[in-house]
Structure 1
């Protein structure tokens, strides 16, 4: 099933894990998560581009794993 979300009024927040001016910036929209139960994520270098949308539970699991160092550094 494919759902569509209106992200035109989303308030995007840059991830605290984004690497400054090195071009590896990720943004997410917590206001959508609070109302729709999903977390939209996009590349801050391409704000008009596509956004990935994750269920809140999946996003929470992913961010917890990042905080706990469960992913190897590249």
Structure 2
């Protein structure tokens, strides 16, 4: 009765999905992978954290200085 309506599979999408499912079995540590993990997993998060913390401390000191100047007058 109403057959022939199956979806056509894209070979490239299927290969990509299969490679993604088996990534933990096929992964190898190379110099490039060490570099990428170090950069995006450690260095950039540390730099972002330090930037946020130093910015908040700077705002704390600026607000503290402004309040001390307003106490004088």
**Both structures adopt the same fold (TM-score exceeding 0.5):** no
TM bin (shorter chain): under 0.3
Name whichever structure is richer in helix by fraction: 2
> Taking structure 2 as the reference length, what is the TM-score of the superposition?
0.22
